[in-house]
Amino acid sequence: MNEIDIVRAVIEEGYQISPQAVELIKLSNSPENLLKYILATIDDCVFVIEPEHVDLQGFEASTTVSGRVANNVFTPVSEPTSEQTLKSANPDTMKVFDSALDVSEEPGLIPSVEPEVVSAVEVSDSNPEIELEILSSQGSNSDFDSDSIHDTVHGAAHSSFPNPLSPSVSPKNVERPASSFFGNTNPSSASKNALRIDSLFSNQKNSFSSSSRDEGVRYLPGRNPVAVLSDITGHSTCVGEYIQFVQYFRDRYSRLSEILRGRMNARPIESLKRRSFRRGSDGGTEELSIIGMVSDINTTTNGHKILSLEDPTGSFSVLIRNSDKELFELASRLLLDEVIGVTGSVTNDGNLMLATKLLQPDVPNSVQRRTGSHGKVVLISDVHVGSSQFLEDSWLDFLDFLKGESDSEEMQEIAAQVRYLVVAGDLVDGIGIYPDQEMELDILDVYEQYRKAAEYFREVPEHIHVIISPGNHDAVRQAEPQPALPERICADFPENVTFVGNPALVDLDGVQILIYHGRSIDDLVASVPGVSYQEPAGAVLEMLKRRHLAPTYGSRVSISPEKKDYFIIDPVPDIIHTGHVHTLGVQRYKNVLLVNSGTWQAQTEFQKRVNLMPMPARVPVVDLADFDVKILAFD
């Protein structure tokens, strides 16, 4: 019984197993019986089977092999401790591990692949327009002999894929290591005593279904009630261990793939490698569908796209032909780490899918907008109290508006209907956010900044319920999801202010608003053609199509790997409110209102250097009955 058989048996029972426990079982005189004994006696609370869970004495006392007690069950080996195991479970050291393991080499090992070969394409006879080509990581234009393609594709499909499983909670400037989203790893060819990292993905018993994981809803009754439906505050469990990254990506994949499965009949990736793909009488091949997380995107020498998709059972390569203009354009907008569905035919050797359809989770056309509420909600963000560029005069005019003290009767009428004020992050400018920030501050102490902000918010009428979410300038951890501001800060604010995390889903008397500061807009502007800072609602639309607020892991947004992915957009809200980029944008998409509010800060030196023109003192006011939007100017 080799390592792979042991890992598979453990996975089938819903557990995970450490490399050291695998080694203990494999080196015993009766590994199969020992494994059966462990699985039959293991405590249900155990998540990963470690060496201490291998009860050799109990096994010796209870097991008889061929009429005699099984003595000398194992051969002693030098084994790392559990603490060493945790320290060694670093995704930077991982290799891709194909759970199908259909190889002929030494058991437990994957054939090596030359590092320069990223992917290879085999083309079926029914697709003669596609040239045979090897995709080089250096963008080489070299061709290759078609006779070698069968031997190359399988290995290339499982070569190093970029992966965001960095052990750091703040993955800025971290090179994506070659490993699996779901903990799939390739045992090394080192000696038996060397530490090896085996599969950690598993369909484990503690796989955290949505229903078992959701924290309780926080109800805030009153004249203008609020229900906080989703918020990381008080529920963070992340300490940065490797297994938590695995759990995070499993949760993301599980929930987004569930949305996609409602619209397509998909099969596990592993099943594709076990099928015989023979042509029918018409010469065509059967079309199949898979759902996977995008682990790599490459362009061939002839301009086609190669996607590497991964699910908990394995990985697979998908070809998008540039002759299919609509499909190719969609593929050109895909992001790393998003979950998509693909339909297409598989080449004869079963190593490559020729895509005919791509499907994103998106919002269903049948989504219904909630009705029946009344009054208005004011959406603002990026106040930046404490900055020398803070527009205090405009802000005071805004406060006068909320108090019903505007000169305009129309403004007074609107103010009388305001029930809620929602702030999507960056309440203050903070300190130490960027180099030499102190040169642009009027208030140098961050707590003094918050005390000044609290002074402003005490002027907001008591009947208006204020909801404040943090941003990257606020005094909470930089890794998202961010918890609400600490109690030391909240204590200075009036009772009509509720603090939530970032992101947070709240219900305002029947209308659901998803609040997200919007830092991932930076990633979308950099990665998706046509998305710009001047039209930020377009970036929010891209989030909505992917049903995820921060699709790419390990870029500008530092993401904490919690057990629950708080960035998934589920359920679909009535309004998504973002900020961060200091520009105003409003857009509607399938009965969802997308609002990126502006700022209360004039152009900073940094914004001048990057040629970003802010849109300060513009306030979107949304009618909760019909979602009509008015933009009020206070400049």
- The separation between the first and the last C-alpha atoms of the chain, rounded to the nearest angstrom, is 74
**pLDDT of res. 84:** 37
Task: Tell me how far CA of residue 240 lies from CA of 86, 152, 185, in angstroms.
Answer: 11, 37, 19
Per-residue pLDDT at 609:
84
- Residue from 235, 201, 187 nearest 215 by CA: 235
- Give the span between the Cα atoms of 92 and 95, in whole angstroms: 9
8 Å CB contact between 203 and 525: no
Provide the 8-state DSSP code for 301: T
Q: Please tell me what DSSP assigns to residue 482.
A: B
Weakly modelled stretches of the chain, pLDDT under 50? 64-179, 185-214
> Which token pair is 400?
């006068």
Q: Rounded to an integer, what distance in angstroms lies between the CA atom of residue 441 and that of residue 446?
A: 10
Other CB atoms within a 10 A radius of the CB of residue 415 amount to: 22
Among 2.40.50.140, 1.10.10.1200, 3.50.50.60, 3.40.30.10, what is the CATH number of 263-359?
2.40.50.140
Q: Domain limits of the chain?
A: 3-61, 263-359, 376-633
At 112 the pLDDT is 33
For residue 48 the two structure tokens come to 């990963």
Instruction: Tokens for 315, please give them.
Output: 């990985």
- Scored b (16 or more CB within 10 A) or e, 148-175 reads ebeebbbbbbbbbbbbbbbbebbbeebe
Question: Exposure string (b/e) for 448-474, b if CB count within 10 Å is 16 or more?
Answer: ebbbbbbebbeebeeebbbbbbbbbbb
pLDDT in tens, 465-486: 999 999 999 999 999 999 999 9
DSSP state letters, 56-102 = HHHHHHH-EETTEE--S-B-------HHHHHHH--GGG-----TT--
Which token pair is 114?
A: 């030359």
**Is residue 96 exposed (0-12), middle (13-18) or buried (19+ Cβ within 10 Å)?**
buried
Look at the domain 376-633 and name its fold. Purple Acid Phosphatase; chain A, domain 2 (3.60.21)
As a whole number of Å, the CA-based R_g of the chain is 28
Q: In the prediction, which pLDDT does 627 show? A: 94
